[in-house]
Structure 1
Amino acid sequence: MAPQRITFPGHDGGLLAARLDMPEGPHLATALFAHCFTCGKDIPAARRIAARLAGMGIAVLRFDFTGLGHSQGEFANTSFTSNVDDLIAASRFLEGRGMAPALLIGHSLGGAAVLKTAPQLPQVKAVATIGAPFDPGHVTHNFADALPRIRAEGAAEVSLGGRPFRIGKAFVEDVSEVALAPAIAGMKAALLVLHAPTDAIVGIDNASQIFLAAKHPKSFVTLDGADHLVTRARDAEYAAGVIATWAGRYLPLAPPAPPPGAPEGVLRVSEADAEGFLQDINSGPHHHVLADEPHAYGGTNKGMSPYGFLSAGLGACTSMTIRMYARRKGWPLAHVSVDVCHDKVHAQDAETRSGDKIDTWRRRIRLTGDLSAEQRQRLLEIADKCPVHRTLERSSEVVTELVD
């Protein structure tokens, strides 16, 4: 689903520009994302992380802080405190829509901002930071040569990332006086710290200080090879996956009731990458997997192919069916494994017409345990009663082989 463009009043009444990434399937929770210093809501890392979380059922609001991007106001008149106030305003806006955020995510200085904000938002159950500084004053290192001029003249224009910004004296003084340790220690929410060991902008020691200042529950995950802005797609996707999986332990992800006629609920497949074939597959609130194609067929190989999922369904159903029968009979079956082979490639097959060609799946079943020859033969016969097998054989041939 395309992100919704919205605006809401910031800390000073000026309108802040935002994007709301909503899940295409059930909406299970809401997150609020705070971007890095002088960045914006549309920085690649923010877009990718929001999209991946939305694919997992978590709505994400990301917005431009006052004076940045498409938001109103003068950046020179903002401060770290005003960023915190903007986050509180964003939370109130979401509450007004019945979507109070339970998860805060902050990148770089935005990470410091969510750590400062979290104790003021009692509904927040989890906080995740990415490359966050323990001392927000660390950000002034980016324009250290301009600090004397800012203090003397009240403001000065600096170049950050090749773009001009006017930094005010109030910002420098405010960010230099912020102490995060009390806020971190006073948080009632679970904390996840993500940081790259080779971050050249905010050193890894900041992650250690944040982690040590926090009370349990807290977790740390290293973003090996990532840069400070998490510019590579694979790093942003990894961070999003870790955040979503971790947050599931702390957020009330209540599943919606399944629709009539679908006792297991609706399995939803949503395209994750329009340039390739990556797909998000959600089956209810607790099961998320990826489907993809191999590199050789234009994919990124981050998940099984569609035929791979068919084979997985056949193998899993076969193993479960054998186990249920052996358990009911009280037979000494110690372990079951099923190898499944299928000779088609989805990306290749989709471009050709197969006509009436019959698909062939080959199963190799291994049964471990003190089973008699008669028991092993009976379990082999039971494998053919697997429901997925029966579904496939209506138009396909399933060849089964028992392996010692």
Structure 2
Amino acid sequence: MSRPTPDGANAADAVLGRSSAAELGDGPGATLPRRSHRVSFPGGNGFTLAGIVDMPVAPLAGGPIAGTPIVVFSHCFTCNKDLKAIVRIGRGLAARGVTVLRFDMTGLGNSEGDFSRTNFTTNIADLKAAIAFAYKELGPVTGLLGHSFGGAASLAYAGEMGGVPNSIRGVAALAAPSETQHLSGLMLRRNPDIEKVGQGRVEIGGRSWTIRSEMLEDFRRHRLEDWIARISIPMLIVHSPTDETVGFDHALRILQLASSRRSGHAAPPVSLVALDGADHLLAENPQDLSYVAGLLAAFFWRYRD
């Protein structure tokens, strides 16, 4: 599969502020000026969460553009809104006319709280709070986007029966797992003391994190597969066949679950894009980020109302 080549990829790490797509190298199709600003809001677990809104602006007036898709972007396990891939994708979407709220979950990035006291349940609660904030401050949220464990949270929320706002028309998952139990097993293999003594230190992404047994118990009790099977809105799954962190079999399982007919009704539209040669964090090839941003923008524009 051939991919477009972005212009000036390294320039996308510019400081917050209003900038044009050409200046930031957001890639082909990124033609709108955009700006980013910091926000904070009450999370779902009693702590204040930090976020950044990336939004397109009118080329001449410099103000917000009405009618754009509005998307809430959830990050991966132990990551935050400032992960390079999340920053670049958020900015790339804004340059393609999509407003994005990317935020730090409890205890991560610039958000308050203790990460070691969080779990998948608290992640979903924070996502709900972010959606409520975006709805109030930006307008009706039209899409959900998540990377890795954030993708799992987005899929879980989309599958909640009766709990999803009618405005949400699509959900996209990047390198997402099809279940949460695997992460519990991975943490225990790295440090068995988590269960033996109730907590332990695990190195992830070059940092040492405290992982508590309660976190892993929560991971084990969820049935993400059941939520995925209940999703009734269009889905986009993007996953690398060479992902060494969350294997491609997870993407195939999500596709299978989401594509199955349920209760006599047809399954929603589901697309799987195999991102050949990419790593889990989309860090090795700058072209991957521009390519993914283009895919996501097309998806969220198609399913915005």
TM-score normalised according to structure 2 size: 0.79
Q: Aligned equivalents of 2:293 and 2:183: distance in 1?
A: 25
Q: Does 1:249 align with 2:302?
A: yes
The CA deviation string for residues 13-48 of structure 1, in whole angstroms up to 9 with x for no partner, is: 211111110112324121000111111101111011
> In the alignment, is residue 183 of structure 1 matched against residue 236 of structure 2?
no
What are the Cα deviations for residues 277-317 of structure 1, in whole angstroms up to 9, with x where unaligned? xxxxxxxxxxxxxxxxxxxxxxxxxxxxxxxxxxxxxxxxx
Secondary structure at 2:246's aligned position in 1?
coil
- The offset of 1:147, in angstroms, is 4.9
- Distance, in Å, in 1 between the alignment partners of 2:208 and 2:192 is 18
Aligned residues: 252
The CA distance in 2 between the partners of 1:98 and 1:199, in whole Å, is 34
Question: Within the alignment, does 1:222 sit opposite 2:274 as a pair?
Answer: yes
1:96 is aligned to 136
What pairs up with 1:253-292 in 2 under 5 angstroms?
none
Report the equivalent of 1:207.
251
Q: Does 1:162 align with 2:206?
A: yes
1:226-248 deviation line (CA, Å, top 9, x unaligned): 10001132101111101111222
C-alpha deviation, 1:135, in angstroms: 1.3
How far apart in 1 are the matches of 2:96 and 2:242? Answer: 29
Q: What corresponds to 1:352 in structure 2?
A: none
2:119 to 73, 79, 96: 79
CA 1:220 to 1:146, structure 2 compared with 1: closer, same or farther past 3 Å? closer
Do residues 29 (structure 1) and 69 (structure 2) align? yes
Shift of 1:148: 2.9
- Which fold has the larger relative contact order, with Cα–Cα distance below 8 Å and residues 6 or more apart in sequence? 2
Q: 4+ residue runs of structure 1 moved beyond 4 angstroms?
A: none
Superposition deviation, residue 54 in structure 1 = 0.4
Q: Distance in 1 between matches of 2:122 and 2:149?
A: 13
Deviations 1:194-228 (A, max 9, x none): 00010011110000100111132111111111100
Give distance in 2, aligned partners of 1:49 and 1:146.
Answer: 31
How far apart, in 2, do the equivalents of 1:53 and 1:83 lie? 23
Match of 1:16 in 2: 49
Supply the AA of the counterpart residue of 1:242: L
- Preserved CA contact (<8 Å) 1:107 1:130: yes
Instruction: Give the drift of 1:150.
Output: 1.2
**1:320-369: CA deviations, max 9, x gaps?**
xxxxxxxxxxxxxxxxxxxxxxxxxxxxxxxxxxxxxxxxxxxxxxxxxx
Say which of 51, 56, 80 aligns to 1:40: 80
Amino acid at match of 1:219: S
1:240 and 2:286 matched:
no
Task: State the alpha-carbon separation in 1 of the partners of residues 301 and 140 from structure 2.
Answer: 16
8 A Cα contact 2:191 2:201, kept in partner: no
Q: Secondary structure at the match of 2:281?
A: coil
The amino acid of 1:225's aligned partner reads G
Could you tell me the percent identity over the aligned residues? 40
Which structure shows the higher strand fraction? 1
Aligned to 2:7: none
Q: Deviations over 1:161-193 (max 9, x none)?
A: 110111111110111121112211211211001
Query: TM-score normalized by structure 1?
Result: 0.60
CA contact 2:54–2:100 (8 Å) conserved in 1: yes
Residue aligned with 2:235, SS? strand
Q: Aligned partner of 1:166: which letter?
A: T
Structure-2 separation of matches of 1:42 and 1:98: 20
Indicate how the Cα distance of structure 1 residues 224 and 48 shifts in structure 2: closer, same or farther if over 3 A, else same.
same
**Letter of the structure 1 residue corresponding to residue 115 of structure 2:** F
Render the CA deviation track for 1:361-398: whole Å, top value 9, x for unaligned: xxxxxxxxxxxxxxxxxxxxxxxxxxxxxxxxxxxxxx
Give the Å deviation of 1:61: 0.5
8 A Cα contact 2:188 2:195, kept in partner: no
Amino acid across the alignment from 2:269: P
Instruction: Give 5+ residue unaligned stretches, structure 2.
Output: 1-17, 19-34, 59-64, 259-266
1:117 to 154, 157, 163: 157
Quote the offset at 1:146 in angstroms.
Answer: 4.6
Which one has a bigger Cα radius of gyration? 1
Matches within 5 A, 1:348-359: none
Matched to 1:58, the amino acid is V
Say which SS state the counterpart of residue 56 (structure 2) adopts: coil
User: In the superposition, relative to structure 1, how do residues 144 and 152 fare at CA in structure 2: closer, same or farther (>3 Å)?
Assistant: closer
Match of 2:61 in 1: none
Per-residue deviation, 1:154: 2.0
Verify the 8 A CA contact 2:69 2:301 in the aligned structure 1.
Answer: no
* Structure 1 stretch displaced more, 133-142 or 225-234: 133-142
The CA RMSD over aligned residues, in Å, is: 1.4
